[in-house]
Amino acid sequence: MNKHEEKNCPRCNTVFECKVGSILLCQCTTVTLNEEERTYMREQFSDCLCAPCMQAVKAEYHNNLLKDKIDKLAGKSKGL
C-alpha cells in the first residue's frame, strides 16, 4: 500500500500531497537539486516543501551565492 500524506508547505502554507510511499511520483521529483542545494534547504526547513517553493529556495540559494561572489569582488577592488 502506498503512503500518501497531505502536508502544508512550511514556506507558503499551501497544502500538497507528499507521496513518500511512491517517491518517484511525488511532486518534489520535478525539482532537480544538487547536494549543496539540498543541504541549504535542510538548513532552512525541517519538512517537505511544495515544488514551487523548492524552485524558489533553489533560486534563493544561487542568488545568495552570486551576491557573495559580487560582495567579495567589490571588497577586493576597494582594497586596491
Contact 10, 18 (CB under 8 A): no
**Mean pLDDT in order along the chain per 10 residues (80 residues):** 81 93 88 97 95 98 94 72
Helix (H, G, I), strand (E, B) or coil at 71: helix
Q: What is the pLDDT of residue 20?
A: 81
Q: What is the pLDDT of residue 39?
A: 97
Supply 10's cell numbers: 512550511
Contact 54, 79 (CB under 8 A): no
- For 22, phi then psi, to 5°, come to -135, 60
Q: What is the pLDDT of residue 57?
A: 98
Q: What is the pLDDT of residue 32?
A: 96
pTM: 0.81
Q: What is the pLDDT of residue 24?
A: 86
